[in-house]
Amino acid sequence: MPAAIAGGRTLAWLGGCLLVGLLLQTILARVDRGRVTQLETFSETSAVGDRVYYPLPVPLPNPPAMVARVGGRELVPVSYEKFQYRDATMRASARDSATKLTIYKSREPLPDAGDDEWFFVKTAANEYLKLRAQTAAK
């Protein structure tokens, strides 16, 4: 007959707790894997990675034509001059459902903004067209 191990009951109890813990971990991991789409979501709030560009019309209309409609306001270009901003400094503000264009605002203060609210639409990587809002005609 084998000799009794000192603390044998405690070791058996700890081993049982370890097995229960591993079983519980396996069950919870399977539950989480089934809900991965609800638990893990990602939303890019900057312009990095946005590949939907606004193509400039040819010839350029005068006065500038509406680019997008957001929240009942038409967004029209201030001019057709393109501005260079880093994509990481732009913050997504809205999305035009008709054109699928994302409308951006600058995260950094603009030196020439004053009290005006400027919007931007992406024309290429790190290149934007400055827009202003006007009330939509009824």
Q: What is the mean pLDDT of residues 82-93?
A: 89
Is the pLDDT assigned to residue 121 strictly greater than 60? yes
Name the burial class of residue 89, with classes exposed (0-12), middle (13-18) and buried (19+) by CB atoms within 10 angstroms of its CB: middle
Res. 91: pLDDT tops 70 = yes
Two tokens, residue 135: 């009330």
Peptide bond into 61 cis (omega under 30): no
pLDDT at position 71: 81
Q: Please, what is the Cα angle at 43 between 40 and 47, to 5 degrees? A: 155
pLDDT level of residue 1 (50, 70, 90 thresholds): low
